[in-house]
Structure 1
């Protein structure tokens, strides 16, 4: 058997001892077998504390459901053919236009793109896509005091006696309709069914957005249009700490609001492009419903967020009281308008209020401005509303439309004038 000479072992031991830290600790390469601590010393040497492990960055949330395809307009014959191919129906809804809207689970043997393409290939299918996720567009809560953002945009006072306000819809998380600032509001909450194993959404984001729209007049968080009737749909669920609404739920919520006769819908949420959502947006625009959406908080270099980037939708960015754009707001040619969205004072989920920042909180200012416009001229089409809003702004940044502020800061009409 091959043996290492004693002289070589001694040389190796001396080499390792030279590499070992002089305080008796260990080098990055473990040398425990060559420990040179002197346990007989009267004063034991102090060891360096082990370096704290760096926290691992949380993985990004998933962009879509891992095994689902959604489809609109599918016939029973085509659905049966897909069942025979291994697809399973998760949920079905008949939309307001009479078309069947399906949420399907793909067979394990197919990739998601393969499953989507197989569904799209059925002759009766109007549109099919992955079941993308959309998320509330709120930024981390910021510290600060109440700031008079309404004065910044010349928001009118009490307009309750000047025409009939339109019915407003919003798709968001759950909300606390018993919050003191909402308890007397003309507010109705509709919760979509959550899937098996899904947790209900929180009430924080939805409460803040609803209070901005219809909060109690005279309270610490008065609504922009407290005289309006608001129908809120909770389309969200939680997966761990991730709060999201899938594309199927978003379309179901939009269809529900259309059937309830709303004239403007606030969408303080954002996600990727989805063909089925795009089709629903066009359908609502054809039906005369104005859609307002947050531009997203992904930052200046982020891809356009949807549904804000759909052409019929009014995309809203956020600015502070000085008219400076929120640093994390999305940008692009699709941005239509700017509105206050930095340190906005609004209701917290249980009681009281706090300042919030993000494009989520800018969108309700534009939604409320649309409501005032329709209160004054109820017959306006979505295209006319968009054109009038864009023409009545305070220009920010470069002259004319730009990718940061859009057409400029929203300036609402007063229906009493």
Structure 2
């Protein structure tokens, strides 16, 4: 073979290999190319008459890549926005599977706290608090704060026929220590006070004890506090304004409360104070320990029966002094359900016609039963509305049915700023900057709904002297119908029916059909017993009073 022929064949082979490599690269680039784009200028193709290009076979061809699936991110984002902005109705379920499955919702400690474990230790983190009203509706036990009851005591009401050995066995079974057990005739039951031997709550113990068929009921031993804000002050004519505002001098010309016993369930009373000389009919101390007299109890008694240099609402009435309040660890005067129930029982059994309750606390089933039973016996129940302010819920016993709740007014005919408000308010009376007796023969200026209630208790004693047959509902009706309207026209939640008027109330009683009971001359005043009102005694608003109004006398100011 010549050299020229060999050179020609070698050049042909090289050209063929180059052409095959170019065709393979073009095919690979076409398979990896993206989808064709639109809005591009037309591609110039080869002429129709051009000879076809022959591509030699080089084995299996490379398959084209699968086109991508539709993008799901926009639909996911739309669903997220829909769920984020949707108003979800209240539910007890966490619905799964398009509403086909109801999974329980887990609530931790009423949304107040949650435990988080970090480094092996549990940490408590505060969360947003539920509004108080919503929390109470979801769990009524939340309304009972720790400060509202004695944390390590429980009250148990027993049925009849339970022996001492059975009581001891019951106490051992529930890990309790008996403190005291009393028969409360006012509610016809037997009440025991027990101490809890471990750290269980009174509510948990009460639920466990109540499962025993020999136990009628069990509850916490609630705490009540006196409603005053006392401060020493010098004598001033302005502090004697309640006498003129209530028209007490005019009312005392008609009645002075003779023969009416008013039970004062309060702190210790200084029975040796000159203002209370001869005014104490009896005394009772359910606490059973010696304590010095306190300014609140002494002031309450003075607002009712002061008779020396000051003049109370009913200076001839008698006080049944019941000391149920004593100084707590916090320095304030407080009492408990157990002590107050015993005090109510004593008052009902010792001739009290009126019970003054110048204290406030939580709702208590036992106290509610005691108050209802006393009212059913014809005893007038009068209570301070409370000094917790306008945002406070109703306090008890003022908010109980059958109780005359009294709010406080100031010298300027305005409502005491800290006075409770609500539909339970029956009427108002002066209760700001009142000069009243204090322990040790002293006098102090005192403020609070406590003293407003005491003045109304004195007015009720004047009314019952004129007509001892008055029922509690009649006393309430007369007091509210003769009150001076304050605030917005008509009844309101601040002043109730208005500010009390002693002269108008006593004058109204005089116009009733039943005459007052005459007392034998030369004998001590008898205690009037509760009797139902005579049917047909109409309680109507009096027309113009014919009696001549006596100008209020200037009271002699006490020396300091």
Shorter-chain-normalised TM-score: which range?
A: 0.7 to 0.9
Aligned residue for 2:455? 365
Aligned partners of 1:173 and 1:201 also within 8 Å = no
| Mapping 1:17-96, distance limit 5 Å | 62-75=147-160, 76=162, 79=167, 80-96=169-185
Q: Is residue 192–residue 249 contact of structure 1 (8 Å, CA) maintained in 2?
A: yes
Per the alignment, residue 244 of structure 1 pairs with 334
Query: Mapping of 1:18-417 within 5 angstroms?
Result: 62-75=147-160, 76=162, 79=167, 80-97=169-186, 98-108=188-198, 110-141=200-231, 143=233, 145=236, 146-155=239-248, 156-158=250-252, 164-194=258-288, 200=291, 202-216=293-307, 219-240=308-329, 241-412=331-502, 413-414=505-506
Distance 1:367 1:94 in 2: 28
The alignment yields a C-alpha RMSD, in angstroms, of 2.4
Q: Distance in 2 between matches of 1:157 and 1:308?
A: 26
Q: Tell me the alpha carbon deviations over residues 249-288 of structure 1, each in whole angstroms, 9 at most, x when there is no partner.
A: 0101011000002111001111111111111111111111
What SS does the aligned partner of 2:389 have?
Answer: coil
**Structure 2 stretches lacking a partner, 5+ long:** 1-144, 511-560
- Find the aligned partners of 2:327 and 2:255 in 1 and give their Cα distance: 41
SS of 2:322 mapped into structure 1 = strand
8 Å contact kept, 2:384–2:452? yes
Judged with a 3 Å threshold, the aligned counterparts in structure 2 of structure 1 residues 163 and 256 are, in CA distance, closer, same or farther, namely: closer
The separation in 2 between residues aligned to 1:327 and 1:203, in whole angstroms, is: 25
Q: Which has the higher helix share?
A: 2
Shift of 1:142: 6.7
Q: 8 Å contact 2:229–2:448 — kept in the other structure?
A: yes
Is residue 256–residue 462 contact of structure 2 (8 Å, CA) maintained in 1? Answer: no
User: Counterpart in 2 of 1:53?
Assistant: none
Instruction: Give per-residue Cα distances to partners, 1:71-107, cap 9 Å, x unaligned.
Output: 3343426744344222222111111254211112234
Question: 1:245 aligns to what SS in structure 2?
Answer: strand
How far apart in 1 are the matches of 2:351 and 2:439?
27
Is the CA contact (8 Å cut-off) linking 1:336 and 1:406 kept in structure 2?
yes
Listed as ranges, the gaps of 5+ residues in structure 1 are 1-59
88-97 or 365-374, larger mean C-alpha shift: 88-97
Q: Which has the higher contact order (CA 8 A, sep 6+)?
A: 1
Give TM-score, length-normalised by structure 2. 0.59
TM-score where L is the length of structure 1:
0.79
**Would you say how many aligned residue pairs link Structure 1 and Structure 2?**
353
1:107-139: per-residue Cα shift (whole Å, max 9, x none)? Answer: 416332111112333334444321011111001
Task: Report the CA distance shift for 1:128/1:284 in structure 2 as closer, same or farther (over 3 A).
Answer: farther
Report SS of the residue matched to 2:274.
Answer: coil
